[in-house]
Amino acid sequence: MNYNVAVVGATGMVGRKFVQVLEERNFPVDKVYFFASKRSAGTYIPFKGENVIVEELKEENIKNKTIHFALFSAGGDTSLEYAPVFAKYNAIVIDNSSAWRMDPEVPLVVPEVNPEDIKWNKGIIANPNCSTIQAVVALKPLYDKYGIKRIIYSTYQAVSGAGMGGFNDLKEGLNGEAPKKFPRPIANNILPHIDVFTENGYTKEELKMINETKKIMHDDNLKITATTVRVPVYYGHSESINIELQNEYNIEDIFSLYKNAKGIILMDDVKNLIYPTPIDAEGHDEVYVGRIRRDFSIDNGLNLWVVADNIRKGAASNAIQIAEYIINEGK
């Protein structure tokens, strides 16, 4: 069977990647429907050699269609309003915004980590934050084998994570223009600030990493802290992850664990200067792990360096992998 797929926010950074990844992975598509704001309605986006019209997102344009999957990346407010509309007309919504992620009625899914949560969806499934996705893919094998007590995340995140606006701020900033999306210049600079600051001094991005990791791992007792940082890189988030495991380990076992882990490419041979960088991960759906080493300052401490393409595994590809899982394994 082939499926009808809607892409909501099709003209955006992640929306365009949805379209590309649907083509590349040869997703079993019958019809595609592209939605964006009124501004883009009437423009065309090519899909498999044909130009598909972009429609304005409104109920009128949804209700007369059979849509099996709706892939959303058009901001939180749009998701809050329109995900229930698509679900009402029997689509399964896979939403890339943060709007539904912490809703107890909505599963938050990374297929390599918690595919079992897909089955209790009620029409909406949330795609986690880009930084969380790559982190939990790397943490899952450790969690299952040794248990995890505490995690310290420090991120180095690409500008494309802030959409077209973020991308343009770096591009134009390198030509001396003032930023429009970010509050401070990102060209030749780094900003310890992603999403808005909250009362307790953490940014929302940091709280997303903390809360989403616990939800995906089904473990509220995990102790987690995070510092999330924007760097002048177009594509690919990097993360230093410091982990305190519950149980003793030996370092050779960690290497073999990652050699065989689902969705992970081990890139760790420092004698030959092999470690993952954003350029290595760009264009790929796997999570890259390297710089594996013991943290000698605590018992059972471990350091990892984790890199992934934030627009692919961190967003579009993860959502499409969720849809593929539903097709292959059932809801």
**Cβ 322 vs Cβ 118: under 8 Å:** yes
Phi, psi of 62 (to 5 degrees): -105, -40
Among 68, 130, 218, 284, the active-site one is 130
Helices and strands counted in the chain (H then E) = 9, 13
> Any contact of residue 74 with ligand A2P (CB under 6 A)?
yes
At 307, which amino acid appears?
V
Instruction: Note whether 218 binds ligand A2P by CB under 6 A.
Output: no
Near ligand A2P by CB under 6 A: residue from 45, 78, 139, 238: 78
Under the binding rule (CB under 6 A), the answer on residue 40 touching ligand A2P is: yes
Binding residues for ligand A2P, total number by CB under 6 A: 17
Contact 21, 30 (CB under 8 A): no
**Binder of ligand A2P out of 28, 75, 147, 232 (CB under 6 A):** 75
Q: How far is the CB of 321 from ligand A2P (least distance, A)?
A: 20
Contact stretch for ligand A2P (CB under 6 A) within 33-41, 288-296, 302-310, 315-323 = 33-41
| Cα dihedral 200, 205, 211, 214 in deg (nearest 10) | -140
CA angle 21, 97, 161 (to 5 degrees): 65
Residue of 5, 57, 108, 307 that binds ligand A2P (CB under 6 A): 57
Dihedral sign of CA atoms 107, 237, 254, 258 in order: positive
Residue 98 interacts with ligand A2P (CB under 6 A): yes or no = no
For ligand A2P, which is the closer residue by CB, 234 or 325? Answer: 234
* Closer of 58 and 145 to ligand A2P (Cβ): 58
**Backbone angles phi and psi of 137, in degrees to 5:** -60, -40
Q: Which of 30, 39, 251, 269 binds ligand A2P (CB under 6 A)?
A: 39
Token pair of 176 as six digits: 């001396």
Cα separation, 125 vs 92, in Å, equals 7
Q: Does 141 bind ligand A2P (CB under 6 A)?
A: no
The radius of gyration of the chain from alpha carbons, rounded to an integer in Å, stands at 20
164 touches ligand A2P (CB under 6 A): yes
Q: Which of residues 2-31 bind ligand A2P (CB under 6 A)?
A: 9-13, 15
Residue 130 annotated to the active site: yes
Sign of the CA dihedral 316, 317, 318, 319? positive
Position 107 contacts ligand A2P (CB under 6 A): no
Residue 61 belongs to what H/E stretch? helix 60-63
Binding site for ligand A2P (CB under 6 A): 9-13, 15, 36-37, 39-40, 57, 74-75, 78, 163-165
Q: Which residues form the catalytic set?
A: 130, 237
